Amino acid sequence: MNLKRKLALSDISGFALASVLVLTIFNVILQNSLLTQNSAGNALLALSSHEGVANAVTTVVVYFRGFDTLGEIAVLFIASLGIGLILENPHAKQGKKEESNFMLKTAAKLLFPIILLFGIYIMVYGHLSPGGGFQGGVIIASGVLLLLISSNNFHMPHKLIAILETFAGISYVFIGLIGLLLLDTFLGNFLPHDISQMGMLFSGGIIPIIYIIVGIKVGSEMSFIVQNLLQRGEHD
Amino acid sequence: MIEIILSYLNQDIVIQKIVLIGSMSLLLIGLFGLLTQRHIIKVFMSVAIMESSLFLFFIGSTFNKNFTAPILGDGHVDFIHMNDPIPHAMILTAIVIGMAVLALGISFAIEYFKLTSITDIDRMNEMKN
Amino acid sequence: MIGFIILFTFIALIIVAFAALVQKKLEDSIILFMGIGLGSVILFFTFNAPDVALTEAVIGSGVSTFIFLTALKHLRSEQ
């Protein structure tokens, strides 16, 4: 026991010494190379003023890097597919858990509509203020988590999640293909996007529509993940 | 005295150094946890800390305190004097993806525990021989 | 002032991260891990990135904690 404690102490001190060395090397090497001018960022900022969207991050996520975002929600879909494959039990026996608290039940009934409304607001106003589809989808999933914790027999129907997710994925690709047909670029902005309308709710062409679609997809996938993680151990 | 320290800390190069050294220290602490802790939840937690430190480094390395957030608000009419929006967009999606992959790893750990009742990663050696 | 805020938050983050990793009880460790998410939110907002701060506030200190607590519940259910 004594030997083990001494060994751990020397391990920690050696690790601290190595950390100081590595940090010194980083400090010397990167001292002058960090303060660079962001030329690519400035170019994208100059370009994003043509799209009529007030939030430049939204323009980069949905429009300039729109194809990457399609790939990333595909990664999210594959992760939730793996979780469903591992954890989901189709022959689940419902009920027979311990009753949840009275206060939790009442608060969940009161809070769930507000959380849902807040998530939809974050999703729809993603092109005007900080927020967007990713954040709004996760907020909606946390509302679903509140319902799952409080209620005994609440269960997100599998068919609803499948329909929402399929609809969102297909319409993302479909809007991109319409842009390819009309403007010769995938995800081309074919709806009117006047710069004088910047800051209004209806502005920016297809960008808010695509962010809402991303929000639906992220929300349904996160709800699926949360539900499977929560209900795994209860029906063995 | 306090004013001197505050104005020293407000220089651009000092802020860059704080960001660099702080995020790299967080990365090394995550590595420390990965090497010394043996419970599977602690291992996943160390990986999450390392991920978080990389996000902080990515955003902080393009920070300039004279610029504003890349959103047009009251008073701004042009996209100039703004921080670089590209790292923001990349990290925004990386956080969500990282959480989903963490949930996938946790679900693997849960299933493994249901089969073998082992949470110590030193004893996970079924594939050894 | 901004430099002081960044320095202070980084020191707090490092202390909280080390404390979260060396705790004996896993519950304490998970709650301290939530503190790392909150510190990251402060830093992202200071770095002029409110979008990333919103995402980290929802995920880093909300859903991640839920995932770890659920894992703890499952890993202790049969002992």
ipTM of the complex: 0.92
Average confidence (pLDDT) over A64-79: 91
Say whether C44 and B59 touch across the interface (CB within 8 A): yes
Take residue A153 and report the two structure tokens written for it: 């027999």
More confident residue, B74 or A173: A173
- Shortest distance between the Cα of B5 and any Cα of chain A, in A, equals 21
Residue B117 at interface with chain A, using a CB cutoff of 8 Å: no
Q: Is residue A97 part of a domain?
A: yes
- Shortest distance between the Cα of A170 and any Cα of chain C, in A, equals 25
Q: Could you tell me what percent of chain A has a pLDDT over 90? A: 34
Mutate to test the interface with C, among A80, A135, A234 (most CBs of C within 10 A): A135
pLDDT at A97 over 70: no
Residue C24 at interface with chain A, using a CB cutoff of 8 Å: no
- Shortest distance between the Cα of A135 and any Cα of chain C, in A, equals 5
How would residue A91 be classed by pLDDT, with cut points 50, 70 and 90? Answer: low
Q: Is residue A40 part of a domain?
A: no
Query: With contact defined as beta carbons under 8 Å apart, do B86 and A60 qualify?
Result: yes
C-alpha dist (Å) from residue A57 to A66, B18, B47, C14: 12, 25, 27, 29
Count CA atoms closer than 13 A to A25's CA, side-chain side.
5
pLDDT of residue A1: 45
- Orientation of helix B40-60 relative to helix C64-75, angle to 10°: 170
Residue A230 at interface with chain C, using a CB cutoff of 8 Å: yes
Q: Is residue A61 part of a domain?
A: yes
Query: With contact defined as beta carbons under 8 Å apart, do A235 and A92 qualify?
Result: yes
pLDDT at A6 over 80: no
Take residue A148 and report the two structure tokens written for it: 């799952």
Q: Is residue A133 part of a domain?
A: yes
Number of domains, chain A: 1
List pLDDT tens digits, range C4-52. 999 999 999 999 999 999 988 999 999 999 999 999 999 999 999 999 9
Taking the C-alpha atoms of residue C10 and residue A195, their distance in angstroms, rounded to an integer, is 41
Containing domain of residue A110, as a range? 53-230
pLDDT at A38 over 80: no
Taking the C-alpha atoms of residue A152 and residue B124, their distance in angstroms, rounded to an integer, is 36
Query: With contact defined as beta carbons under 8 Å apart, do B15 and A35 qualify?
Result: no
| B11 three-class SS | coil
pLDDT of residue C73: 87
Q: Which domains does chain B have, with CATH numbers?
A: 2-64+83-122 (1.10.287.3510)
The β-bridge partners of B68 are B82
Chain A hits for B72, CB-CB cut-off 8 Å, are 54-56, 198-199
Chain C hits for B55, CB-CB cut-off 8 Å, are 40, 52, 56
Say whether C54 and A130 touch across the interface (CB within 8 A): yes
Taking the C-alpha atoms of residue A87 and residue A161, their distance in angstroms, rounded to an integer, is 16
Chain B hits for C43, CB-CB cut-off 8 Å, are 56, 59-60
List pLDDT tens digits, range A116-139. 999 999 999 988 888 888 999 999
pLDDT of residue A156: 82
pLDDT of residue A23: 74
More confident residue, B44 or A28: B44
- Shortest distance between the Cα of C4 and any Cα of chain B, in A, equals 6
List pLDDT tens digits, range A46-64. 777 777 788 888 988 888 8
Residue A131 at interface with chain C, using a CB cutoff of 8 Å: yes
Taking the C-alpha atoms of residue A166 and residue A42, their distance in angstroms, rounded to an integer, is 37
Query: With contact defined as beta carbons under 8 Å apart, do C20 and C39 qualify?
Result: no
Q: Is residue A164 part of a domain?
A: yes
pLDDT of residue A236: 46
Say whether C78 and B10 touch across the interface (CB within 8 A): no
Q: Is residue A43 part of a domain?
A: no
Say whether C63 and A222 touch across the interface (CB within 8 A): yes
User: Could you tell me how far CA B127 lies from the centroid of its own chain?
Assistant: 32
Q: Is residue A83 part of a domain?
A: yes
Residue of B nearest to A7 (CA): B36
Q: Is residue A22 part of a domain?
A: no
Mutate to test the interface with A, among C52, C55, C58 (most CBs of A within 10 A): C58
Chain B hits for C11, CB-CB cut-off 8 Å, are 22
- Identify the chains in contact with C, defined as 3+ C-beta pairs within 8 A: A, B
Residue B78 at interface with chain A, using a CB cutoff of 8 Å: yes
Chain A hits for C58, CB-CB cut-off 8 Å, are 135, 138-139, 142
